[in-house]
């Protein structure tokens, strides 16, 4: 008897906690028996909950603004101190992350099986098949980045993965074998190799909300970077950026637009966030609408305690000693070195240096925002890092200079500070900079690196530089957490108080090798029988 394939007729997100790992398919179901219904299915193959908030608050981009600061919630406190994250029905909580990523995977699988069976492998649906495979790989990749250790060729054969689902399931079987990280990466790699050649932009009415060709290859570039397959990372990035330097420059965001009120509106949190996520922006390769508190996390009373604070900015990020700011004058100049100038506030229990990237939308009682998971800027830095690992140092520096020439101002207060740098300048700067220490006054941007691959003396300073560029570019977006995991970077959680804002203590340290780098699974998944992460 012919199997019947269904898609969820979703009218709204069910965001209440439940004991099932996935909500069961409701009675209002639609048979996938036409190309149009395949397309409808694939609109739901993208996670509507993101891992961004937990990833960002686990990283070294966040300070604790004091134990005397009553304005925090359980989720941010537990993420910031790498504690077991319990379930409090937060939009950005682990249960929603787990459920809605596997729901997205289920939709991708439903589309794939319908294409192959009900629709008899119609070649006209190859673009849909490609999108489904890439979307399935991406949802698993997001879960792996949160719940698993970083890829390590020595340990990934035994490190726990997450279940890689390749068939439609009404609910995830909690008794499924989690497999290993190595197996998980192999399955993602397979889906990408099959899916990427099938992607066709002409298939989409709104390509920026799907895995269009450039977005798909940007994902592949990031995946292969994490997989330590450097040449594949470069090859995928080249599809996005081309190999022509002049063309690449035209694909990177014009950051100076943030100083043009005609293009971004008046300088405000709302205007900047909307400009950052604009669909017409050539650098924005894909947009991902999600339910999330990201857009309000830093500016509502309940979350004042944890933020990218002045101390982090002054010692490690925007206003520390950088190649483009050798005397650390950025703070005194109002962060004038950056076209995308951060907003700041330091009063009472608030202490924040912020680049607004998440516009706020309301959907009933829920908060929505838009993420930009892939940009040409980040893909350029992926390519630069991979080139460093391949020993193509001059070419890597050329890529880095393309980015800094767009991101940084070349002149501040009539004084040229430079926004491009030679390999020798980069090397000398980082060789002279002290390594960061987990002490109250010992933090710098230069971290001790403990990757699972070897860095030469010539490569290391360039890696420090590309990591700093990535940290600044992706501020608030959660990607710093993956760099911390990939490079075995120690994280110290600095705490200061309202009374002694400029005096810090260290209240927690995450070691380079630490089981807590893999966030523990949701409690309901463990309670239902899924193997937990070791602790």
Q: What is the mean pLDDT of residues 339-356?
A: 91
Could you give the CA distance from residue 495 to residue 474 in angstroms, rounded to a whole number?
23
- Same structural domain, 139 and 248: no
Which residues is 347 bridged to in the sheet? 350
Together in a domain, 204 and 249: no
Domain boundary among 215, 239, 263: 239
Q: Are residues 188 and 314 in the same domain?
A: no
Residue 86 lies in a domain: no
Domain count, the chain: 2
88 pLDDT tier (thresholds 50, 70, 90) = confident
- The answer as to whether 83 is a domain residue is no
Percentages helix, strand, coil for the chain, rounded to the nearest 5?
45, 10, 45
* Portion of the chain with pLDDT greater than 90, in percent: 80
Alpha-carbon gap, residue 507 to 68, rounded angstroms: 14
Q: Are residues 455 and 433 in the same domain?
A: yes
Q: Say whether both 338 and 451 belong to one domain.
A: yes
Integer Cα distance of 402 and 409 in angstroms: 13
Q: Which two tokens stand for residue 480?
A: 């710093």
Residue 398 has pLDDT above 60, yes or no: yes
* Residues 177 and 283 occupy one common structural domain: no
Task: Give the domain extent around 398.
Answer: 241-520
- Shared domain for 453 and 314, answered yes or no, is yes
Same domain, 208 and 272: no
pLDDT tens for residues 46-81? 999 999 999 999 999 999 998 888 888 899 999 999
Burial readout 406-425 (b: 16 or more C-beta within 10 A, e: otherwise): bbbbeebeeeebebbbebee
Which residues of 221-321 form beta strands (DSSP E)?
A: 284-291, 306-307
Output b/e per residue, 274-297; b: 16+ Cβ within 10 A: bbbbbeebebbbbbbebbbbbbeb
CA distance 160 to 158: 6
Task: Check whether residue 145 and residue 194 sit in a common domain.
Answer: yes
Same domain, 385 and 475: yes
Report whether pLDDT(2) > 60: no
Quick: pLDDT tens for 205-251. 999 999 999 999 999 999 999 999 999 999 999 999 999 999 999 99
DSSP secondary structure letters along 429-453: HHHHSPPP-SSTT---S------SS
Q: Which of 249-253, 408-412, 426-430, 457-461 has the lowest mean pLDDT?
A: 408-412
Query: Please, what is the Cα angle at 23 between 18 and 24, to 5 degrees?
Result: 130
| Domain limit, last residue, from 239, 269, 292 | 239
- Residue 448 token pair: 């001790």
Contact between 286 and 210 (Cβ < 8 Å) = yes
Does residue 352 surpass a pLDDT of 50? Answer: yes
- Give residues with Cβ within 8 angstroms of 135, minimum separation 6: 42, 45, 46, 104, 108, 211
Residue ending a domain, among 208, 239, 270, is: 239
């Amino acid at each position: 008897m012919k199997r019947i394939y269904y898609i969820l007729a979703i009218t709204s997100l069910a965001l209440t906690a439940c004991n099932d790992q996935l909500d069961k398919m409701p009675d209002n179901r639609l048979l996938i028996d036409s190309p149009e219904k395949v397309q409808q299915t694939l609109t739901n193959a993208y996670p509507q909950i993101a891992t961004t908030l937990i990833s960002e608050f686990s990283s070294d981009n966040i300070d604790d603004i004091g134990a005397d600061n009553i304005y925090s919630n359980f989720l941010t406190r537990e993420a910031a101190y790498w504690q077991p994250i319990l379930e409090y029905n937060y939009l950005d909580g682990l249960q929603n992350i787990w459920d809605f990523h596997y729901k997205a995977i289920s939709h991708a699988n439903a589309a794939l099986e319908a294409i192959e069976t009900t629709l008899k492998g119609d070649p006209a649906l190859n673009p849909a098949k490609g999108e489904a495979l890439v979307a399935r790989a991406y949802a698993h990749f997001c879960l792996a980045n949160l719940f698993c250790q970083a890829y390590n060729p020595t340990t990934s054969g035994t490190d726990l993965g997450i279940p890689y689902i390749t068939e439609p399931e009404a609910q995830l079987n909690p008794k499924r074998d989690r497999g290993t990280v190595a197996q998980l990466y192999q399955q993602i790699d397979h889906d990408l190799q099959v899916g990427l050649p099938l992607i066709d932009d002409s298939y989409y009415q709104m390509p920026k909300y799907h895995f269009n060709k450039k977005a798909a290859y940007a994902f592949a570039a990031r995946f292969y970077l994490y997989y330590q397959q450097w040449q594949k990372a470069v090859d995928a990035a080249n599809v996005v950026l081309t190999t022509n330097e002049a063309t690449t420059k035209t694909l990177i965001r014009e950051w100076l637009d943030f100083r043009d009120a005609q293009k971004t509106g008046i300088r405000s949190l709302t205007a900047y966030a909307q400009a950052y996520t604009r669909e017409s922006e050539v650098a924005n390769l894909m947009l991902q609408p999600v339910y999330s508190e990201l857009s309000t996390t830093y500016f509502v009373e309940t979350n004042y305690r944890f933020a990218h604070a002045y101390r982090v900015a002054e010692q490690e990020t925007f206003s520390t000693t950088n190649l483009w700011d050798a005397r650390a004058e950025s703070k005194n100049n109002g962060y004038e070195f950056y076209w995308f100038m951060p907003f700041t506030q330091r009063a009472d229990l608030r202490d924040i240096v912020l680049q607004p990237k998440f516009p706020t939308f309301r959907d009933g009682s829920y908060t929505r925002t838009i993420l930009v998971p892939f940009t040409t800027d980040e893909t350029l830095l992926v390519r630069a890092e991979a080139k460093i690992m391949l020993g193509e140092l001059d070419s890597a520096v050329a890529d880095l200079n393309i980015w800094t020439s767009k991101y940084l101002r070349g002149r501040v207060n009539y004084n040229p500070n430079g926004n491009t740098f030679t390999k020798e300048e980069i090397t000398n700067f980082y060789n002279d900079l002290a390594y960061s220490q987990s002490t109250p006054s010992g933090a710098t941007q230069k971290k001790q690196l403990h990757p699972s691959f070897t860095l030469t003396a010539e490569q290391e300073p360039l890696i420090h530089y590309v990591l700093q560029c990535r940290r600044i570019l992706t501020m608030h977006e959660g990607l710093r957490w993956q760099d911390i995991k990939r490079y075995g970077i120690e994280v110290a959680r600095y705490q200061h108080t309202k009374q002694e804002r400029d005096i810090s203590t260290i209240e927690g340290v995450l070691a380079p090798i630490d089981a807590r780098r893999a966030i523990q699974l949701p409690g309901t998944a463990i309670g239902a029988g899924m193997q937990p992460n070791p602790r």
